[in-house]
Amino acid sequence: MTEPVTRTRERPRPAPRRRGRLLLAGLATLIALTTFTIAGPAVAGSRETGAKAQERAAAVILARDRARFLARYAADPDRPFTTSFMAFRRELHGSALYRVLQLMPKGGLLHVHATGIGEAEWVVRRAFTEPDTYIYWGPASETWARGQLAAYPQGGVPEGFIATADLERAVPGLRARLLRLYTLGPEDASIPDIWTEFEAIFQRLDVFVSYRPVFIAYYRQSFLTLARDGVQFVEIHTSMDPLTTRGGGTVADLDVLAAYRRALAGVRARYPSFGLRIILCTWRGATVEEAAAQVARERALAAAAPGIVHGFDIVAHEGTGHSNAFYAPALTTLPRVPLYLHAGESLSPEDTNVQEALDLGALRIGHGLNMGLFPGLEQRVRDRRVTVEVCPLSNQALRYVPDLRHHPARGWLRRGTRIALGSDDPSIFGTRGLTDDFAMAYLSWHLSLPRLKQLALRSITASTLPPERRERQRGLFERRWRSWVAAVAASGAAR
């Protein structure tokens, strides 16, 4: 998911891995130093001139790293764009380009789902360290999915569940098998309906991640990963289901928000500006009455926690669930809730969710992949100044865009449609933070450095944040961007 650092005759050339670590550390140090310098007083004209020169130099360096990376695939030029990311990520992560983009400020993450926000590897490790954790290892049924995790601290373990330690002794390579069950990778290529497996993964993970001790640790680690990756704030799309406790009970709503805050506090000790917003969801199998109850819940939670809860979404497979218009009676009741709706995660001309989202007044649209099937629809999205949340690696993993070079967002950008990049469900797709989606977009769509900045800034201007917080996040982003550009430009001579 290297190039040598500066060398002298007195210092031997480091081994490749060591060179990569030195380059990463050097860039991080330069960013820290330039952040301090840029934040101080300066002559505006000379700083602007210097910043433009640095941006041009950084753009040349990034383009050079992209060309060098793609040159590796001269014999198989399709590989970077058509290979399952789970199979390709190690090649990307070992590149100089990836290491530079990893340090790039990325603004906010606007499109990510609760259970899918973290890393599957973390979940597997936790399953073997969290007391009273069990795995269902029987045949799949309507109730349980093979590999489903759950904690039973008070006993009452259902039939078919086996303690993790016991199962590991009985099943060779169990952890690797679980990792495959919790992700979508090349081993799933033969599955005819990828959404069936995708939804089964959520079933395998949801109960375990909704166990309060795991929940807090999972989100703390997920937020930390995002902050390290240059993400300033995250907007989680979630139904905010109740959590189970060590005592065997459940907690809901304000207690769930308290668990989120506790996870956030653990990250803010190191990244004090990192922020969290929650967009409450219902699913496409809900009745109108159930959706209305969830809308009312959003209003109550937004009133109780206005700094965190803001907005509403409808999630799940558009091909098998209800349309956005079906829920209009629930979504149009007063006072209206802000809408950030999934729409157009489909290749079907029968799916009219994008039009319906616009009719309902949605402020953002998630995915929008089938817009091109409807004449004039993309222009309508532009006219309404609606931002499309684009998740390239999710779209590839779920087989909507097998070749990332042909993603419709490439054309949307050229035509002025507003987009922001998201990761959707990184734990399932094997991505980390936002660097993977930014890197593959940069490679696949042949983006410029100003375009990368535009994508990151859009995540701030299209966020759910109130205006004053949005401006603070934008100011922080601009300072970090100048620091990163200066560091990349300064590293050019060293590479």
SS (H, E, C) 299-321: HHHHHHCCCCEEEEEEECCCCCC
Amino acid 50: pLDDT = 85
Amino acid 138: pLDDT = 95
Strand partners for 367: 343
Domain 107-119+199-468 CATH (choose: 3.20.20.140, 3.20.20.10, 3.20.20.450, 3.40.50.1000): 3.20.20.140
- Any idea how long the chain is? 495
Cα separation, 395 vs 412, in Å, equals 15
Helix (H, G, I), strand (E, B) or coil at 314: strand
Amino acid 416: pLDDT = 98
Radius of gyration of the chain (CA): 23
CA dihedral 255, 260, 262, 264 (to 10 degrees): -160
Strand partners for 345: none
Per-residue pLDDT of the chain (495 residues; tens, 9 = 90+): 333 333 222 323 334 444 445 455 556 655 554 443 333 334 445 556 788 999 999 999 999 999 999 999 999 999 999 999 999 999 999 999 999 999 999 999 999 999 999 999 999 999 999 999 999 999 999 899 999 999 999 999 999 999 999 999 999 999 999 999 999 999 999 999 999 999 999 999 999 999 999 999 999 999 999 999 999 999 999 999 999 999 999 999 999 999 999 999 999 999 999 999 999 999 999 999 999 999 999 999 999 999 999 999 999 999 999 999 999 999 999 999 999 999 999 999 999 999 999 999 999 999 999 999 999 999 999 999 999 999 999 999 999 999 999 999 999 999 999 999 999 999 999 999 999 999 999 999 999 999 999 999 999 999 999 999 999 999 999 999 999 999 999 997 555
Cα separation, 494 vs 262, in Å, equals 42
Amino acid 28: pLDDT = 63
Give, in degrees to the nearest 5, the angle at Cα 325 between 320 and 330.
Answer: 105
- Is there a contact between 488 and 61 (Cβ–Cβ < 8 Å)? yes
Find, among 441, 446, 479, the residue nearest to 460 by Cα: 479
Q: Which two tokens stand for residue 73?
A: 């695939």
- Is there a contact between 197 and 184 (Cβ–Cβ < 8 Å)? yes
CB count, 10 Å around CB of 90?
9
Find, among 286, 266, 264, 284, the residue nearest to 275 by Cα: 264
Helix (H, G, I), strand (E, B) or coil at 226: helix
Amino acid 492: pLDDT = 77
- Is there a contact between 330 and 299 (Cβ–Cβ < 8 Å)? no
Residue position matching structure tokens 């990244």: 271
- Is there a contact between 279 and 464 (Cβ–Cβ < 8 Å)? yes
- B/e letters for 42-78, b = 16+ CB within 10 Å, e = fewer, are eeeeeeeebbeebbebbbebbbebbeebbeeeeeeee
Strand partners for 424: 112
Amino acid 461: pLDDT = 98
Specify the pTM.
0.91
Helix (H, G, I), strand (E, B) or coil at 105: coil
Cα separation, 298 vs 17, in Å, equals 48
Q: Per-domain residue ranges for the chain?
A: 107-119+199-468, 120-191
Amino acid 34: pLDDT = 42
- Is there a contact between 420 and 110 (Cβ–Cβ < 8 Å)? yes
Amino acid 45: pLDDT = 54
| 451 sits in which H/E element | helix 449-461
Cα separation, 101 vs 435, in Å, equals 6
Amino acid code (one letter) for 237:
H
Residue 200: phi and psi, rounded to 5, are: -65, -30
